[in-house]
Structure 1
Amino acid sequence: MTTALVIGGGVAGPVAAMALQAAGISATVCEARPGPADDRGAFLTLQINGIDALRAVDVDVTGLGFPTPAIRLRSGTGRLLGEVGTGQPLADGTVGVTLRRGDLYAALRDEAVRRGIPVEHGRRLVDAVTDGDGVRAVFADGSTAVADVLVGADGVHSRVRSLIDPTAAAPRLLPVLDTGGFAPPQDTGAEPGVYEMVFGKRAFFGWAVAADGGVWWFANPPWRPGAAAMTDAQWRTWLRELFADDRGPAVAIVDSTAGELHGWESHDLPHVRRWHRDGMVLVGDAAHATSPASGQGASLAVEDAVELARCLRDLPGPAAAFAAFERLRRDRVQRIVRAGARTSGQKAAGPVGRVLRDAVMPLALRTVRRDAQNWIHHHHIDRDARVTA
C-alpha cells in the first residue's frame, strides 16, 4: 500500500489524510505543536465550495457554526454601499457558515483519528530527503519517518516549501493587520447571520450576530511595526482611536469583549514557483496562501486535499499525480489570491482612495452580475471522476 506523511494538522492536513485514506493510501499526520490547537485564532468562514468539498470525504461541519449567506458593506458614515451574497445555496439549501477556527481544527482532527489515521503532535519537520525508497522525513527531536510521498500542509510559512525550492519567494506581508473576538449579545443593528462590514475612516471593521445573539467581530487596522507584541490595553486604546469617528457599534463591541485582545500580521503568496519535487507536494496555504479578505483560505485547502487524493489514486506514480494536481489547481487558486489582495488594498485606502471607493462601489455592486462569483463558490469536485494525465 502507498504511504503518505502529511505535515501540518490544521485544515488541509487532516482532510488530506482522510481523502488519501479513501483513495487507498495510508496517511499519518505530523503536527509541530506539542498538543491540539483548539483555542487557536478567532473564527473563519467556510464557503459553500469548501462545504461541498468536505462532503466528498463524508465530513459535515456546518453544525459547528451559523449560516452567513450575505454581506452588507457600509462607509464610515454609515451609508449602505451595497450587499453581496456568499454564493447561491447548494442544492439542499446549504449556505456558507462562520465557525470558530479551533472548533474546525478539533472536528477534523477527531474525525481523522476516528477513522484510524494517526495524528502525531510535537513532530516539527526540519528536513526531508528523497531517494529510491520514497521520502525520509527528519524531525526536530531527531526521529525520522519514511513514506512514499510527503504532503506539505504546513501553512504560509511552510518548511516543506523551502525544501522543495530553497530559493522560493518569501510570503508577502499584507497592508492590514487582523484582530477580533467574541462580544456578548447587544443591539448592533445587524440581522442574524448577515455580515456588516464597514470601510471606516482609519480601519476596516466587520461583525455578525451568531445564533445565540453573541457578536463575532474582526478588525483590520493598517499595518504598523510591533503590533503583534502590543498588550490588550494597547490594542483596545488603538481600536477606540481608529473607530472613534465612524458611525456604528465598533467601539461598543470592542469595549464589551471579554478576555485579552491580540493581533497578528497576515501574508499571502502571489506565486509559488514550484509546488512539488520528487515525492513532495504542497497543499493549502503552503502553496497559495490568500488574504483573509477572500474568505476562501479554508475552502481552498479542502479542495486541494480532495483533488490531490484523486490524482494519486488515478495516475501512475507521484510525478504524474503531482503534475496533474498542479494543472487542476494553479490557475483557480492564484486568481483567488489576486482577488483577495485587491480587497485587502481597498481596506487600506488613503483619503483620496476612500472617496473614490465609496463613490464607485455602490454603482459597481449594482451593475455586477449576481452570478459573477459563481466560479469561486460553485466549484464542484466529483470525487468519483477519473483524473487523466
Structure 2
Amino acid sequence: MVRTLVIGGGIAGTAAALALHKAGSDVTVHEAHPDSAEDIGAFLTLASNGMRALAQLDAAAAVTAVGFPLRSMRVLDDTGATVAHVPLGEAGDPLLRYRCLHRGELAAALQAEAARRGIGIRHGARLASVRHTPDAVTAHFTDGSTATGDLLVAADGLNSVVRQGFAPDVRPRHAGQRVFYGYTDDALLAEENAGESERITMVRGSGTAFGYAVSPAGETYWFARVPGEPLTAEEIAHGTPGHWREQLLPLLRKDTTPAAGVVAATTDRLMVTDATEIPTGTPWRSGRVLTIGDAAHAASPATGQGASMALEDAVVLAKSLRDAPGTEAALSLYESLRRPRVEENVTVSGNISRGTPPSPRPGRGAPASRPGDDDLVRHLDWHTDLWTECGSNTPGSPSDQ
C-alpha cells in the first residue's frame, strides 16, 4: 500500500486525500491551521465539472448539505438591461448543479467527510522543508516532528513552501485586478431580489465586473473585479470594510445597475484581495513530490474554476496512481492529462482579468490536446482505467520509447 503525505488540508488537499484513500492509499493530511477554517471570508462557486468530481469521490452529499444551488445565470449590461439569461452547466441534474458556498464551509465539509472515513488529519502541522531519496520522502515540520511516505502531495496553496523548495524562482504574479467580496442580509434588498433564488446575476459594468447571488435565507453574496495595481500586504491588513466600500461605490455608480445598491447595503462583511496566478510552464514535481491545485496552477478568479479544477486534480491523480505501473509513470500520466486543461484555464482567466482579447485558435477554438467534455467525463469516471485509455500517450511509457 502506498503511503501518501498530503500537505495542506484545504479544498485541494482534503479532496486529494479522499480520492487517494478511495484508490487504496494509506494517506495522512498535514494542515498548518489549528482548525478546519480556510479563508472563511470569501465565497466561491463550484461548477458542474467540480460537482462531477465530488460525485466520483462519493462526497457530493457532504457538500450539497452546505451552500445553495445555482441553476441559471442572468447577464446585465451597464444600463441594467438583461442581455442574456441561460442555464448554468448541467442544471437538470441535482448532483451536478452549480453550487455557491463559503470557501471555509467547503473545506470543513470535506474535512468532516475525511474524518468520517478514518483519514488522519493533523492540524497545526506547519511544513518547514521536504527531503526525498529514491525510496521515500520526508516532511519536516516547524515543531520538530517529521513524517515519511512513498509520495508527498503538496496542496499548500499559492505561496507553496513545497514548490519553493524545488522551483525557487517561481513567484505568483498579479493578474491585473483587485477582487472585492461581500455579504449583506439587508431586508429591503432581499425583498427586492426575492425572485433571484438559484440564479447568479453578472453585471458587465463600464469599468467593473460584478456578480451577485441571493441565498434561500435572503443573504446576498457578491463580488467585484476592478482593474488596478496589486495591493500591499499592509493595505490589505489595515483596510476596513468602510474604506473598501467607499473606494468601490464611485466606480459602480457610473452605471445604472443594481451593483451600487448591493454594495451600499453591505456594512461590515467586505474584504478585498488581489487576482493572482501562477505562470504557466511552472514545474509541478520533483522526485516523489507533486504539487496540485493552486500550488501548481492558481488562476485569477475570472472563470470561477479554481476549486473545480482542484477537485478534478484529486480524482485524476488518485486514478493515475491506481492504474499506472509505478509512481513515476503515474505522475507522468497525471501531468500529461492535467496540464493542458488547467493551463488553458490560467491563460483564459488571466486574459479576462487583464482585458486581453483571446488569441484566435483554429477549429472549434480549443487545442487538440485539451480534454473536451467527453474526455473529461471519462477521465473523472472512477471506473475508467486511465492507463489503458491514455497511458500509451504518456512520455516515458513503453510505446513512447
Written as runs of structure 1 = structure 2, the 5 A alignment for 1:178-327 is 178-184=179-185, 185-188=190-193, 191-224=196-229, 225-226=231-232, 227-228=235-236, 229-327=238-336
User: Displacement of 1:105 after TM fit?
Assistant: 0.8
Q: Which amino acid aligns with 1:77?
A: T
- Within-5 A mapping of 1:322-333: 322-333=331-342
Please tell me whether the aligned partners of residues 49 and 96 of structure 2 are also in contact (alpha carbons under 8 angstroms).
no
Change (3 A) 1:257 1:98: same
User: What secondary structure is seen at the aligned counterpart in 2 of 1:262?
Assistant: strand
Q: CA deviation at 1:93?
A: 6.9
- Indicate if the aligned counterparts of 1:278 and 1:318 stay in contact, CA closer than 8 A: no
Aligned to 1:9: 9
Q: Does 1:33 align with 2:33?
A: yes
In 2, Cα distance between equivalents of 1:34 and 1:92? 34
Provide the residue aligned with 1:361 in structure 2: none
Change (3 A) 1:4 1:11: same
Give 1:190 shift. 6.0
How big is the alpha-carbon RMSD for the aligned residues of Structure 1 and Structure 2? 2.5
Which residue pairs with 1:55 in the alignment? 55
Deviation at 1:163, TM superposition (A): 2.0
State percent identity of aligned pairs: 40
Assess if the C-alpha contact under 8 Å between 2:303 and 2:349 holds in 1: yes
- The corresponding residue for 1:87 is 89
Per-residue deviation at 1:340?
A: 1.2
- 1:139 maps to 141
Which shifted more, 273-282 or 72-81? Answer: 72-81
Q: CA deviation at 1:49?
A: 0.8
CA contact (8 A) 1:87 1:378 kept: no
> Are the structure 2 counterparts of residues 69 and 378 from structure 1 closer, same or farther at C-alpha, using a change threshold of 3 Å?
farther
Tell me which residue corresponds to 1:340: 349
Q: Name the CA distance, whole Å, in 1 between partners of 2:194 and 2:91.
A: 25
| Cα distance, 1:45–1:6 mapped onto 2, change above 3 Å | same
TM-score under structure 2 length normalisation: 0.84
Q: TM-score when scaled to structure 1?
A: 0.87
The 5-angstrom pairing of residues 105-184 of structure 1 reads 105-167=107-169, 169-184=170-185
After alignment, is 374-383 or 299-308 more displaced?
374-383
Letter in 1 for 2:211: G
- Unaligned runs of 5+ residues in structure 2 are 359-364, 392-401
The AA in structure 1 aligned to 2:282 is R
For the residues of structure 1 that align with 2:194 and 2:375, how far apart are their CA atoms? 30
Tell me if structure 2 keeps the 8 A contact 1:178–1:218: yes
Query: Deviation of residue 339 (structure 1)?
Result: 1.7
Q: Find the aligned partners of 2:210 and 2:79 in 1 and give their Cα distance.
A: 13
Q: Output the CA distance in 1 between the equivalents of 2:319 and 2:374.
A: 21
SS at match of 1:316: coil
Task: Give the residue type in structure 2 aligned to 1:298.
Answer: A
- Bigger drift between 124-133 and 182-191 goes to 182-191
Q: Letter of the aligned partner of 1:180 in structure 2? A: Y
Q: How many residues align?
A: 366
Instruction: Give the deviation of 1:379 after TM superposition.
Output: 3.1
What letter corresponds to residue 23 of structure 2 in structure 1?
Answer: A
Q: Does 1:103 align with 2:105?
A: yes
- Ranges in structure 1 where 5+ consecutive residues have no aligned partner: 358-367
Label 1:141 to 1:93 Cα distance change in 2 as closer, same or farther (>3 A): closer
2:80 to 78, 81, 88: 78
Contact 1:290 1:341 (C-alpha < 8 Å) held by counterparts: yes
